[in-house]
Amino acid sequence: MIAGLCAGCRHARVNQTRRGPSYLRCQLASLDPAYPRYPRLPVLRCAGYQPAAEPDPEQPDPEQPDAEQADAERADAERADPEQPGPGRRR
């Protein structure tokens, strides 16, 4: 899906249907009828465009465990079943 400005807009949401197709929905349409609910893509100009929030580089990504946490989890797994081969271990 080539969305133009909507790809980086904080108001854009992707709606997935049960049959497979997905549609880009503008959340501003709920507040202001001047904005189309499902804009024609690609959107090249929009008065309501606001950049999506950029992740703070100082904050850890909640989806990615930090190295210390990953090491601790690996050590716990080895203690739970020392016979189970882990990464870098051979039987």
**Confidence (pLDDT) at 53:** 82
79 inside domain: no
90 inside domain: no
Number of domains into which the chain is organized? 1
Contact yes or no for 39/52 (Cβ under 8 A): no
- Mean pLDDT score of the chain, rounded to an integer? 77
1's CB contacts (< 8 A; 6+ apart) are: 14, 22, 24, 41
Residues of the domain holding 45: 1-49
* pLDDT band of 78, cuts 50, 70, 90: low
Spatial distance between the Cα atoms of 9 and 4, rounded to a whole number of angstroms: 9
Predicted structure pTM score: 0.54
Contact yes or no for 27/12 (Cβ under 8 A): yes
5 inside domain: yes
Contact yes or no for 41/4 (Cβ under 8 A): yes
